[in-house]
Amino acid sequence: MHRTLTLLLSALAIMTALAGSAARAAEPSIPNYWDERERLPKPDLSGVERLRFLTTIDFPPFSFLDGQGRLSGFHVDLAREVCRELDIVARCQIQGLPWDELDAAMATGQGEALIAGTPINAQTRESYLFSRPYLRFPARFVVRKSTTLYEPLYKAIDGKRTGVMAGTAHEAMLRRYFPDAKAVTFTKPEWLQDALREGRIDGIFGDGMRLSFWLAGSASQNCCRFAGGPYLAPEFLGSGLAIAVKRDDAVLARAFDFALREISVNGTFAELYLKYFPVSFY
């Protein structure tokens, strides 16, 4: 009897440990681009009379008008947290404009900062300084839940029919880094997604954020999951999202770096990320 009880307790302990491991594995991954040991100085913004963030009104979930016509979204909440971290909430404003009006508004002094997904490249750097990126968009593999496809994916994907959007950076990236995968190109996202759900391809390689929305939505019919980890490739996918300021406003750019680092380290960024991206694309 004692031996039986001991075996039962041992089995229970193993099951509990396994359950704990599974729970930890199921925890969403939060992107973090900051070294917690790094210490950035907090710039003096006492001379800043007003800080106006400009963003878009039609870029959900980053910025959009809600049902009551209020400006909402990840970028809106992030700007507010940046202002709070810099102790200038009373001097902060956030204004939404159509995308094609943002650059002109900045040029004419209607705003001091852009938080709108402005691409970081040689052309935009002629007009703006950028904070460090606060969000990057990785490429991800998605497979059916019944599929056993795990790391190292560069081996597991060999010979697999892998769907990808034709003519995209993701197609170029798939062919460059996974040359032994059998690329199957599609011209419409819904055709690509239907092919995976119906088992006509073995996996999808594409934008992790968009795929996370599909996985969370009803269109996927709970068919699929991410496989492996995120792939960050600036040469194909760009440098991510950052806050843009005028080229002569280096102090403000450094202030945003300070605030973004503090928000990341203290957990505020994680809360915002999970609020708008409940299925993490990392």
Pairing of strands 139-144, 203-207: antiparallel
Residue partners of 182: CB distance under 8 A and separation at least 6:
159, 160, 161, 162
- Decide if 140 contacts 230 (C-beta within 8 A): yes
Main-chain dihedrals φ then ψ at residue 140, nearest 5 degrees: -140, 155
Pairing of strands 203-207, 161-165: parallel
Closest to 239 in 3D by CA, of 137, 153, 156, 169: 137
What are the b/e assignments for 30-50, b being 16+ CB within 10 Å?
A: ebeebeeeeeeeebeeeebee
Q: Which helix (H) or strand (E) holds 206?
A: strand 203-207
pLDDT of residue 27: 62
- Decide if 188 contacts 167 (C-beta within 8 A): no
What string of DSSP letters covers 231-273? Answer: E--HHHH-S-B--EEETT-HHHHHHHHHHHHHHHHTTHHHHHH
Q: What is the pTM of this model?
A: 0.85
Strand order in the sheet with 182-186: 182-186, 161-165, 203-207, 139-144, 224-231
Residue partners of 272: CB distance under 8 A and separation at least 6:
74, 77, 78, 81
Give the angle 29-262-43 at the CA atoms, nearest 5°: 150
Q: How far is CA 139 from CA 9, 208, 234, in A?
A: 44, 5, 11
- Decide if 53 contacts 92 (C-beta within 8 A): yes
pLDDT of residue 3: 41
Give the angle 214-30-33 at the CA atoms, nearest 5°: 120
pLDDT of residue 84: 97
Residue partners of 206: CB distance under 8 A and separation at least 6:
139, 140, 142, 164, 165, 168, 170, 192
pLDDT of residue 154: 78
Question: Which residue do the tokens 């006509």 mark?
Answer: 200
Give the tens place of pLDDT for each residue, 134-149.
999 999 999 999 987 7
**What is the C-alpha to C-alpha distance for residues 151 and 46, in angstroms, rounded to an integer?**
51
Q: What is the CA radius of gyration of the chain?
A: 22
pLDDT of residue 148: 78
Regions of the chain short of the pLDDT cut 50: 1-26
Q: What is the dihedral of CA 237, 242, 248, 253, to 10 degrees?
A: -140
pLDDT of residue 222: 97
